[in-house]
Structure 1
Amino acid sequence: MNEIKLSKRLKMVAGFVAPQARVADIGSDHAYLPTYLVQSGQINFALAGEVVKGPFEIAQNQVNEMNLQQQIEVRLASGLAAIELTDQIDTIVIAGMGGILISEILDAGQEKLAPVKRLILQPNNHEDSLRQWLFDHHFMIKNEAILLEAGKFYEIIVAEPSEISVSKISVPSAKSLMFGPILSEEKSEVFQQKWQKELTTLHKILERLPEEQKEKRQQILQQISEITEAIQ
Protein backbone atom coordinates (compact mmCIF):
# COMPACT_ATOMS: atom_id res chain seq x y z
CA MET A 1 0.00 0.00 0.00
CA ASN A 2 1.41 3.35 -1.04
CA GLU A 3 1.53 5.91 1.74
CA ILE A 4 -0.13 9.27 1.09
CA LYS A 5 2.12 12.31 1.30
CA LEU A 6 0.08 15.29 2.40
CA SER A 7 0.79 18.93 1.62
CA LYS A 8 2.04 21.05 4.51
CA ARG A 9 -1.42 22.62 4.70
CA LEU A 10 -3.34 19.34 4.98
CA LYS A 11 -0.72 17.89 7.35
CA MET A 12 -1.44 20.77 9.71
CA VAL A 13 -5.20 20.20 9.33
CA ALA A 14 -4.66 16.51 10.14
CA GLY A 15 -2.86 17.50 13.33
CA PHE A 16 -6.11 18.91 14.73
CA VAL A 17 -8.04 15.65 14.26
CA ALA A 18 -8.45 13.89 17.60
CA PRO A 19 -7.37 10.23 17.80
CA GLN A 20 -10.18 7.86 16.79
CA ALA A 21 -12.47 10.70 15.70
CA ARG A 22 -15.14 9.89 13.17
CA VAL A 23 -14.41 12.37 10.40
CA ALA A 24 -16.36 13.85 7.51
CA ASP A 25 -14.10 15.58 5.01
CA ILE A 26 -16.32 17.82 2.89
CA GLY A 27 -14.86 18.69 -0.51
CA SER A 28 -12.30 15.96 -0.01
CA ASP A 29 -10.01 16.51 -3.03
CA HIS A 30 -8.91 12.96 -3.93
CA ALA A 31 -9.71 11.78 -0.37
CA TYR A 32 -6.08 12.46 0.54
CA LEU A 33 -6.81 13.57 4.09
CA PRO A 34 -9.08 10.63 5.06
CA THR A 35 -6.62 8.21 3.46
CA TYR A 36 -3.70 9.67 5.42
CA LEU A 37 -5.65 9.65 8.70
CA VAL A 38 -6.69 6.01 8.29
CA GLN A 39 -3.30 4.80 7.00
CA SER A 40 -1.51 6.41 9.94
CA GLY A 41 -3.88 4.75 12.41
CA GLN A 42 -5.08 8.11 13.69
CA ILE A 43 -8.72 7.23 12.92
CA ASN A 44 -10.69 4.15 11.90
CA PHE A 45 -13.54 5.70 9.91
CA ALA A 46 -14.04 8.66 7.61
CA LEU A 47 -16.33 9.75 4.87
CA ALA A 48 -15.31 11.89 1.95
CA GLY A 49 -17.96 14.13 0.44
CA GLU A 50 -17.84 15.55 -3.09
CA VAL A 51 -20.52 17.54 -4.89
CA VAL A 52 -19.12 17.11 -8.43
CA LYS A 53 -19.07 13.73 -10.17
CA GLY A 54 -15.49 14.00 -11.49
CA PRO A 55 -13.80 14.63 -8.12
CA PHE A 56 -16.15 12.07 -6.53
CA GLU A 57 -14.95 9.39 -8.93
CA ILE A 58 -11.30 10.37 -8.39
CA ALA A 59 -11.75 10.12 -4.61
CA GLN A 60 -13.52 6.78 -5.00
CA ASN A 61 -10.70 5.42 -7.17
CA GLN A 62 -8.14 6.63 -4.63
CA VAL A 63 -9.89 4.77 -1.79
CA ASN A 64 -10.27 1.63 -3.92
CA GLU A 65 -6.60 1.66 -4.93
CA MET A 66 -5.60 1.90 -1.28
CA ASN A 67 -8.05 -0.91 -0.41
CA LEU A 68 -9.66 1.25 2.29
CA GLN A 69 -13.32 0.81 1.28
CA GLN A 70 -14.21 -0.62 4.70
CA GLN A 71 -12.91 2.47 6.51
CA ILE A 72 -13.57 5.33 4.08
CA GLU A 73 -16.89 5.97 2.37
CA VAL A 74 -16.99 8.34 -0.58
CA ARG A 75 -20.34 10.02 -1.21
CA LEU A 76 -21.68 12.23 -3.96
CA ALA A 77 -23.64 14.96 -2.17
CA SER A 78 -23.78 18.70 -1.59
CA GLY A 79 -22.03 19.84 1.58
CA LEU A 80 -23.18 18.25 4.82
CA ALA A 81 -25.87 16.27 2.98
CA ALA A 82 -23.09 13.67 2.64
CA ILE A 83 -23.47 12.96 6.37
CA GLU A 84 -26.09 10.64 7.83
CA LEU A 85 -26.76 10.83 11.57
CA THR A 86 -26.13 7.07 11.74
CA ASP A 87 -22.50 7.76 10.70
CA GLN A 88 -21.93 9.21 14.18
CA ILE A 89 -19.63 11.87 12.75
CA ASP A 90 -18.05 13.95 15.52
CA THR A 91 -15.51 15.93 13.46
CA ILE A 92 -16.11 17.87 10.26
CA VAL A 93 -13.26 19.12 8.09
CA ILE A 94 -13.84 21.70 5.36
CA ALA A 95 -10.57 22.85 3.82
CA GLY A 96 -9.53 24.77 0.74
CA MET A 97 -12.70 26.79 0.10
CA GLY A 98 -13.64 30.43 0.57
CA GLY A 99 -14.76 31.43 4.04
CA ILE A 100 -18.18 32.54 2.83
CA LEU A 101 -18.76 29.23 1.02
CA ILE A 102 -17.74 27.30 4.15
CA SER A 103 -20.23 29.39 6.16
CA GLU A 104 -22.95 28.63 3.61
CA ILE A 105 -22.22 24.89 3.73
CA LEU A 106 -22.42 24.89 7.54
CA ASP A 107 -25.57 27.01 7.46
CA ALA A 108 -27.34 24.73 4.99
CA GLY A 109 -26.52 21.64 7.04
CA GLN A 110 -27.13 22.87 10.56
CA GLU A 111 -29.22 19.82 11.46
CA LYS A 112 -26.06 17.69 10.97
CA LEU A 113 -24.04 19.74 13.46
CA ALA A 114 -25.85 18.72 16.67
CA PRO A 115 -23.61 15.69 17.46
CA VAL A 116 -20.42 17.32 16.16
CA LYS A 117 -17.68 17.97 18.71
CA ARG A 118 -15.19 19.75 16.45
CA LEU A 119 -15.05 21.76 13.24
CA ILE A 120 -11.67 22.04 11.50
CA LEU A 121 -11.94 24.75 8.88
CA GLN A 122 -9.34 26.10 6.47
CA PRO A 123 -10.76 29.04 4.55
CA ASN A 124 -8.82 30.50 1.62
CA ASN A 125 -10.27 33.96 2.27
CA HIS A 126 -12.97 35.83 4.24
CA GLU A 127 -11.76 34.36 7.51
CA ASP A 128 -13.54 37.18 9.35
CA SER A 129 -16.94 36.20 7.89
CA LEU A 130 -16.39 32.59 8.93
CA ARG A 131 -15.43 33.58 12.48
CA GLN A 132 -18.58 35.69 12.65
CA TRP A 133 -20.69 32.72 11.55
CA LEU A 134 -19.13 30.54 14.23
CA PHE A 135 -19.89 33.11 16.91
CA ASP A 136 -23.45 33.61 15.68
CA HIS A 137 -24.05 29.86 15.86
CA HIS A 138 -22.50 29.37 19.30
CA PHE A 139 -19.19 27.80 18.34
CA MET A 140 -16.08 28.79 20.28
CA ILE A 141 -12.74 29.06 18.51
CA LYS A 142 -10.46 26.71 20.44
CA ASN A 143 -7.36 26.85 18.27
CA GLU A 144 -5.94 28.57 15.22
CA ALA A 145 -2.90 28.12 13.04
CA ILE A 146 -1.33 29.96 10.14
CA LEU A 147 1.15 28.71 7.58
CA LEU A 148 2.86 29.71 4.36
CA GLU A 149 3.01 27.17 1.55
CA ALA A 150 3.95 27.74 -2.09
CA GLY A 151 3.73 31.52 -1.62
CA LYS A 152 0.22 31.45 -0.12
CA PHE A 153 -0.88 32.08 3.45
CA TYR A 154 -3.45 29.75 4.97
CA GLU A 155 -5.33 29.98 8.26
CA ILE A 156 -6.86 27.04 10.08
CA ILE A 157 -9.70 27.56 12.55
CA VAL A 158 -10.67 24.88 15.05
CA ALA A 159 -14.05 25.43 16.68
CA GLU A 160 -16.17 23.48 19.15
CA PRO A 161 -19.75 23.96 20.42
CA SER A 162 -19.80 26.48 23.23
CA GLU A 163 -20.47 25.13 26.70
CA ILE A 164 -21.11 28.65 27.96
CA SER A 165 -24.58 30.18 28.11
CA VAL A 166 -25.26 32.27 25.00
CA SER A 167 -25.98 35.33 27.15
CA LYS A 168 -22.52 35.09 28.72
CA ILE A 169 -20.50 34.87 25.50
CA SER A 170 -18.62 38.07 24.74
CA VAL A 171 -19.26 39.61 21.34
CA PRO A 172 -16.03 39.28 19.33
CA SER A 173 -14.24 42.49 18.45
CA ALA A 174 -13.59 43.52 14.85
CA LYS A 175 -9.90 42.85 15.54
CA SER A 176 -10.65 39.33 16.76
CA LEU A 177 -12.74 38.56 13.69
CA MET A 178 -10.20 39.95 11.23
CA PHE A 179 -6.94 38.72 12.74
CA GLY A 180 -8.12 35.74 14.77
CA PRO A 181 -8.49 35.70 18.57
CA ILE A 182 -5.59 33.26 18.99
CA LEU A 183 -3.42 34.25 16.02
CA SER A 184 -3.48 37.92 17.05
CA GLU A 185 -2.31 36.96 20.54
CA GLU A 186 0.46 34.64 19.38
CA LYS A 187 1.73 37.01 16.65
CA SER A 188 3.81 34.25 15.03
CA GLU A 189 6.42 34.99 12.39
CA VAL A 190 4.08 33.79 9.62
CA PHE A 191 1.27 35.95 11.01
CA GLN A 192 3.61 38.96 10.87
CA GLN A 193 4.64 38.07 7.30
CA LYS A 194 1.03 37.84 6.11
CA TRP A 195 0.01 41.20 7.47
CA GLN A 196 3.25 42.93 6.50
CA LYS A 197 2.55 41.81 2.94
CA GLU A 198 -0.99 43.23 3.21
CA LEU A 199 0.42 46.50 4.55
CA THR A 200 2.76 46.76 1.55
CA THR A 201 -0.17 46.21 -0.82
CA LEU A 202 -2.30 48.85 0.92
CA HIS A 203 0.50 51.43 0.83
CA LYS A 204 0.91 50.87 -2.91
CA ILE A 205 -2.83 51.33 -3.47
CA LEU A 206 -2.77 54.49 -1.38
CA GLU A 207 0.08 55.94 -3.44
CA ARG A 208 -1.94 55.50 -6.64
CA LEU A 209 -5.21 56.91 -5.31
CA PRO A 210 -6.00 60.51 -6.29
CA GLU A 211 -6.25 62.94 -3.39
CA GLU A 212 -9.87 63.73 -4.26
CA GLN A 213 -10.95 60.15 -3.43
CA LYS A 214 -11.00 61.07 0.23
CA GLU A 215 -13.41 58.42 1.43
CA LYS A 216 -11.49 55.57 -0.19
CA ARG A 217 -8.19 56.94 1.09
CA GLN A 218 -9.63 57.17 4.59
CA GLN A 219 -10.78 53.53 4.44
CA ILE A 220 -7.31 52.38 3.44
CA LEU A 221 -5.64 54.52 6.11
CA GLN A 222 -7.96 52.93 8.66
CA GLN A 223 -6.99 49.44 7.48
CA ILE A 224 -3.30 50.36 7.66
CA SER A 225 -3.77 51.59 11.20
CA GLU A 226 -5.60 48.42 12.28
CA ILE A 227 -2.98 46.11 10.77
CA THR A 228 -0.10 48.12 12.22
CA GLU A 229 -1.66 47.88 15.66
CA ALA A 230 -2.34 44.13 15.28
CA ILE A 231 1.25 43.21 14.43
CA GLN A 232 2.95 45.35 17.07
Structure 2
Amino acid sequence: MKESDIHLGERLHLCASFVREGTRLCDVGTDHAYLPIWLALHNRIISALACDVREGPLSTAKSNISRFHLQKLITPRLSDGLRAVQSQEVEDIVIAGMGGDLIARIVTETPWLYHPEKLLILQPMTKPSHLRAAMAGRGFTLLQEEAVYDEHRVYTVMKYRYLPRECKETDSVQIYTGALTGKNAAEREYLLRQSHYLQQKLFGLLRGGDSPQTKVLVDALQKIEDMCL
Protein backbone atom coordinates (compact mmCIF):
# COMPACT_ATOMS: atom_id res chain seq x y z
CA MET A 1 0.00 0.00 0.00
CA LYS A 2 1.37 3.42 -1.03
CA GLU A 3 0.51 6.88 0.25
CA SER A 4 -1.51 7.37 -2.93
CA ASP A 5 -3.70 4.43 -1.87
CA ILE A 6 -5.04 6.44 1.08
CA HIS A 7 -8.20 8.04 -0.26
CA LEU A 8 -9.97 10.07 2.39
CA GLY A 9 -12.74 11.47 0.27
CA GLU A 10 -13.87 15.07 0.62
CA ARG A 11 -15.79 14.42 3.85
CA LEU A 12 -12.75 13.17 5.76
CA HIS A 13 -10.49 15.70 4.04
CA LEU A 14 -12.64 18.42 5.57
CA CYS A 15 -12.38 16.75 8.97
CA ALA A 16 -8.60 16.56 8.53
CA SER A 17 -8.42 20.27 7.67
CA PHE A 18 -9.95 21.11 11.07
CA VAL A 19 -7.28 19.16 13.00
CA ARG A 20 -4.62 21.39 14.58
CA GLU A 21 -1.04 20.89 13.42
CA GLY A 22 1.22 19.16 15.94
CA THR A 23 -1.66 17.79 17.97
CA ARG A 24 -2.30 14.44 19.63
CA LEU A 25 -5.33 13.02 17.85
CA CYS A 26 -8.07 10.59 18.72
CA ASP A 27 -10.14 9.25 15.82
CA VAL A 28 -13.33 7.70 17.19
CA GLY A 29 -14.88 5.10 14.90
CA THR A 30 -11.66 4.96 12.92
CA ASP A 31 -12.70 2.05 10.65
CA HIS A 32 -9.63 1.62 8.36
CA ALA A 33 -7.63 4.30 10.25
CA TYR A 34 -7.25 6.26 7.01
CA LEU A 35 -7.71 9.63 8.73
CA PRO A 36 -4.88 9.29 11.30
CA ILE A 37 -2.65 7.58 8.72
CA TRP A 38 -3.14 10.43 6.23
CA LEU A 39 -2.47 13.05 8.91
CA ALA A 40 0.66 11.21 10.09
CA LEU A 41 1.99 10.85 6.54
CA HIS A 42 1.55 14.60 6.06
CA ASN A 43 3.32 15.37 9.37
CA ARG A 44 0.22 17.02 10.78
CA ILE A 45 0.06 15.14 14.11
CA ILE A 46 2.57 13.90 16.69
CA SER A 47 0.51 10.88 17.76
CA ALA A 48 -2.91 9.32 17.35
CA LEU A 49 -5.29 6.84 18.89
CA ALA A 50 -7.34 4.98 16.26
CA CYS A 51 -10.40 3.79 18.18
CA ASP A 52 -13.22 1.52 17.14
CA VAL A 53 -15.84 -0.45 19.02
CA ARG A 54 -15.62 -3.41 16.60
CA GLU A 55 -12.80 -5.94 16.37
CA GLY A 56 -13.10 -6.34 12.58
CA PRO A 57 -12.41 -2.73 11.55
CA LEU A 58 -9.76 -2.44 14.26
CA SER A 59 -7.93 -5.42 12.80
CA THR A 60 -7.96 -3.73 9.39
CA ALA A 61 -6.74 -0.51 11.00
CA LYS A 62 -3.83 -2.38 12.63
CA SER A 63 -2.83 -3.87 9.26
CA ASN A 64 -2.93 -0.48 7.54
CA ILE A 65 -0.91 1.17 10.30
CA SER A 66 1.73 -1.57 10.02
CA ARG A 67 1.95 -1.29 6.22
CA PHE A 68 2.92 2.36 6.58
CA HIS A 69 5.28 1.62 9.49
CA LEU A 70 3.39 4.04 11.72
CA GLN A 71 3.15 1.84 14.83
CA LYS A 72 5.15 4.37 16.86
CA LEU A 73 2.78 7.21 15.94
CA ILE A 74 -0.66 5.56 15.77
CA THR A 75 -2.07 3.24 18.42
CA PRO A 76 -5.18 1.20 17.56
CA ARG A 77 -7.50 0.74 20.52
CA LEU A 78 -10.76 -1.10 21.13
CA SER A 79 -13.08 1.45 22.68
CA ASP A 80 -16.79 2.18 22.90
CA GLY A 81 -16.69 5.87 22.10
CA LEU A 82 -14.06 7.43 24.37
CA ARG A 83 -14.50 5.07 27.31
CA ALA A 84 -11.02 3.55 26.88
CA VAL A 85 -9.28 6.91 26.31
CA GLN A 86 -7.68 9.14 28.97
CA SER A 87 -7.66 12.93 28.86
CA GLN A 88 -3.86 13.27 28.91
CA GLU A 89 -3.52 11.11 25.78
CA VAL A 90 -5.25 13.39 23.28
CA GLU A 91 -5.98 17.01 22.39
CA ASP A 92 -8.04 16.91 19.17
CA ILE A 93 -10.91 14.44 18.91
CA VAL A 94 -12.59 13.52 15.63
CA ILE A 95 -15.96 11.74 15.79
CA ALA A 96 -17.18 11.23 12.24
CA GLY A 97 -19.58 9.03 10.32
CA MET A 98 -22.10 8.45 13.12
CA GLY A 99 -25.58 9.67 13.94
CA GLY A 100 -25.83 13.00 15.72
CA ASP A 101 -27.54 11.39 18.71
CA LEU A 102 -24.70 8.88 19.15
CA ILE A 103 -22.04 11.59 18.83
CA ALA A 104 -23.90 13.65 21.46
CA ARG A 105 -23.97 10.63 23.77
CA ILE A 106 -20.22 10.04 23.38
CA VAL A 107 -19.44 13.68 24.13
CA THR A 108 -21.78 14.14 27.07
CA GLU A 109 -20.67 10.94 28.80
CA THR A 110 -16.97 11.94 28.66
CA PRO A 111 -16.25 14.43 31.49
CA TRP A 112 -12.71 15.27 30.41
CA LEU A 113 -13.98 16.78 27.14
CA TYR A 114 -15.41 19.64 29.20
CA HIS A 115 -12.15 21.57 28.97
CA PRO A 116 -11.23 24.47 26.65
CA GLU A 117 -7.99 22.82 25.53
CA LYS A 118 -9.86 19.97 23.85
CA LEU A 119 -10.98 20.50 20.25
CA LEU A 120 -13.91 18.44 18.97
CA ILE A 121 -14.37 17.83 15.25
CA LEU A 122 -17.79 16.29 14.68
CA GLN A 123 -19.34 15.00 11.47
CA PRO A 124 -22.90 13.71 11.95
CA MET A 125 -24.52 11.52 9.32
CA THR A 126 -27.99 12.16 10.76
CA LYS A 127 -29.70 14.41 13.33
CA PRO A 128 -27.36 17.43 13.09
CA SER A 129 -29.93 19.62 14.84
CA HIS A 130 -30.05 17.20 17.77
CA LEU A 131 -26.26 17.35 18.02
CA ARG A 132 -26.07 21.15 17.87
CA ALA A 133 -28.75 21.48 20.56
CA ALA A 134 -26.99 18.97 22.82
CA MET A 135 -23.61 20.68 22.44
CA ALA A 136 -24.94 24.20 23.03
CA GLY A 137 -26.92 23.03 26.03
CA ARG A 138 -23.73 21.78 27.68
CA GLY A 139 -21.59 24.85 27.15
CA PHE A 140 -19.80 23.92 23.92
CA THR A 141 -19.29 26.76 21.44
CA LEU A 142 -19.57 26.13 17.70
CA LEU A 143 -16.36 27.66 16.36
CA GLN A 144 -16.69 26.70 12.70
CA GLU A 145 -18.88 24.65 10.39
CA GLU A 146 -18.53 23.86 6.72
CA ALA A 147 -20.33 21.64 4.22
CA VAL A 148 -18.80 19.54 1.47
CA TYR A 149 -19.84 17.22 -1.36
CA ASP A 150 -18.62 13.62 -1.24
CA GLU A 151 -19.85 10.94 -3.65
CA HIS A 152 -22.98 12.86 -4.64
CA ARG A 153 -23.99 13.55 -1.05
CA VAL A 154 -23.47 16.64 1.06
CA TYR A 155 -22.10 16.56 4.61
CA THR A 156 -21.39 19.09 7.32
CA VAL A 157 -18.41 19.16 9.67
CA MET A 158 -18.49 21.07 12.97
CA LYS A 159 -15.69 22.33 15.19
CA TYR A 160 -16.48 22.73 18.91
CA ARG A 161 -14.71 23.76 22.09
CA TYR A 162 -15.98 23.87 25.67
CA LEU A 163 -16.29 27.59 26.40
CA PRO A 164 -19.26 27.95 28.77
CA ARG A 165 -18.54 31.60 29.59
CA GLU A 166 -18.58 32.46 25.89
CA CYS A 167 -21.44 30.15 25.00
CA LYS A 168 -24.35 32.53 24.70
CA GLU A 169 -27.93 31.54 25.23
CA THR A 170 -28.78 28.96 22.60
CA ASP A 171 -29.89 30.51 19.33
CA SER A 172 -32.85 28.33 18.42
CA VAL A 173 -32.51 29.17 14.73
CA GLN A 174 -28.81 28.22 14.69
CA ILE A 175 -29.77 24.77 15.94
CA TYR A 176 -31.15 24.20 12.43
CA THR A 177 -28.73 26.26 10.33
CA GLY A 178 -25.50 25.81 12.28
CA ALA A 179 -22.65 28.18 11.37
CA LEU A 180 -23.19 27.70 7.64
CA THR A 181 -23.45 30.82 5.50
CA GLY A 182 -24.39 29.48 2.07
CA LYS A 183 -20.99 30.59 0.76
CA ASN A 184 -20.68 27.73 -1.77
CA ALA A 185 -22.78 25.17 -3.63
CA ALA A 186 -22.35 22.47 -0.98
CA GLU A 187 -23.51 24.74 1.82
CA ARG A 188 -26.47 25.98 -0.20
CA GLU A 189 -27.56 22.46 -1.04
CA TYR A 190 -27.19 21.36 2.57
CA LEU A 191 -29.29 24.32 3.73
CA LEU A 192 -31.94 23.73 1.05
CA ARG A 193 -32.26 20.10 2.14
CA GLN A 194 -32.59 21.33 5.69
CA SER A 195 -35.27 23.73 4.50
CA HIS A 196 -37.24 20.82 3.02
CA TYR A 197 -37.02 18.99 6.35
CA LEU A 198 -38.13 22.09 8.27
CA GLN A 199 -41.08 22.66 5.94
CA GLN A 200 -42.32 19.14 6.62
CA LYS A 201 -41.84 19.63 10.35
CA LEU A 202 -43.65 22.96 10.25
CA PHE A 203 -46.54 21.44 8.30
CA GLY A 204 -46.91 18.77 10.98
CA LEU A 205 -46.93 21.37 13.75
CA LEU A 206 -49.53 23.52 11.98
CA ARG A 207 -51.80 20.53 11.50
CA GLY A 208 -51.64 19.89 15.25
CA GLY A 209 -52.31 23.52 16.20
CA ASP A 210 -50.04 26.43 17.06
CA SER A 211 -46.81 25.68 18.88
CA PRO A 212 -43.98 27.79 20.37
CA GLN A 213 -41.70 25.92 17.96
CA THR A 214 -43.61 27.29 14.96
CA LYS A 215 -41.94 30.72 15.07
CA VAL A 216 -38.49 29.15 15.39
CA LEU A 217 -39.06 27.05 12.27
CA VAL A 218 -40.43 30.02 10.32
CA ASP A 219 -37.40 32.11 11.34
CA ALA A 220 -35.01 29.30 10.38
CA LEU A 221 -36.68 28.93 6.98
CA GLN A 222 -36.43 32.67 6.40
CA LYS A 223 -32.74 32.66 7.35
CA ILE A 224 -32.05 29.80 4.95
CA GLU A 225 -33.92 31.59 2.17
CA ASP A 226 -31.88 34.75 2.77
CA MET A 227 -28.59 32.81 2.62
CA CYS A 228 -29.47 30.79 -0.46
CA LEU A 229 -30.87 33.54 -2.66
Which aligned runs of 4 or more in structure 1 are off by greater than 3 angstroms?
111-116, 197-207, 216-226
SS at match of 1:143: strand
Gap regions ≥5 residues in structure 1: none
Q: CA deviation at 1:195?
A: 3.1
Q: Which residue of 2 aligns with 1:90?
A: 91
Asked if 1 retains the 8 angstrom alpha-carbon contact of 2:147 and 2:190, the reply is: no
**Relative to structure 2, which stretch is displaced further, 114-123 or 186-195?**
186-195
CA gap of 1:120–1:29, structure 2 versus 1, over 3 A, is: same
Are 1:144 and 1:183, in contact at CA under 8 Å, matched by a contact in 2?
yes
**What does 1:1-232 align with in structure 2 at a 5 Å threshold?**
2-3=2-3, 4-87=6-89, 89-111=90-112, 113-114=114-115, 116-162=117-163, 165=165, 169-180=167-178, 182-184=179-181, 186-199=182-195, 214-215=207-208, 223=217, 226-232=220-226
Q: Percent identity?
A: 29
Paired AA for residue 168 in structure 2? S
Q: 1:20 to 1:81 in 2, by over 3 A?
A: same
> Are the equivalent residues in 2 in contact too, given 1:90–1:115 (CA < 8 A)?
no
1:47 CA drift (Å): 0.6
SS of the equivalent of 1:36 reads: helix
AA aligned opposite 1:170:
K
Contact 1:199 1:224 in 2 (8 A): no
Q: Structure 1 residue 148: deviation in Å?
A: 1.8
In the superposition, the TM-score normalised over structure 2's length comes to: 0.84
CA distance in 2 between counterparts of 1:202 and 1:132 reads 15
Give the distance between the partners of 2:159 and 2:23, measured in 1 at CA.
14
Shift of 1:220: 9.3
Offset at residue 223 of structure 1 (A)? 4.8
Cα distance, 1:66 vs. partner?
1.4
Q: In the alignment, is the contact (CA less than 8 A) between 1:92 and 1:116 conserved in 2?
A: no
Deviations along 1:122-166, one digit per CA (max 9) or x if unpaired, are 01121122112222222211111111222222111101121x63x
Give distance in 2, aligned partners of 1:24 and 1:204.
37
Structure 1 contact 192–231 (Cα < 8 Å) conserved = no
CA contact (8 A) 2:51 2:79 kept: yes
Between the aligned partners of 2:124 and 2:18, the Cα distance in structure 1 is 15
Scaled by the length of structure 1, the TM-score of the pair is 0.83
Shift of 1:40: 0.7
Q: One-letter code of the match for 1:191?
A: E
Q: Structure 2 vs 1, CA of residues 176 and 198 (structure 1 numbering), >3 Å: closer, same or farther? A: closer
| Unaligned ranges ≥5, structure 2 | none
Instruction: Report the RMSD for the aligned CA atoms in angstroms.
Output: 2.9
Task: Decide whether the 8 Å contact of 2:53 with 2:78 is kept in 1.
Answer: yes
Cα drift, residue 202 of structure 1: 7.3
Aligned length: 222
User: Whose Rg is larger?
Assistant: 1
Cα deviations across residues 173-202 of structure 1 (Å, max 9, x unaligned)?
Answer: 22111111x214x55432222233455577
Relative to structure 1, the CA distance from residue 77 to residue 105 in structure 2 (aligned partners, 3 Å threshold; closer, same or farther) is same
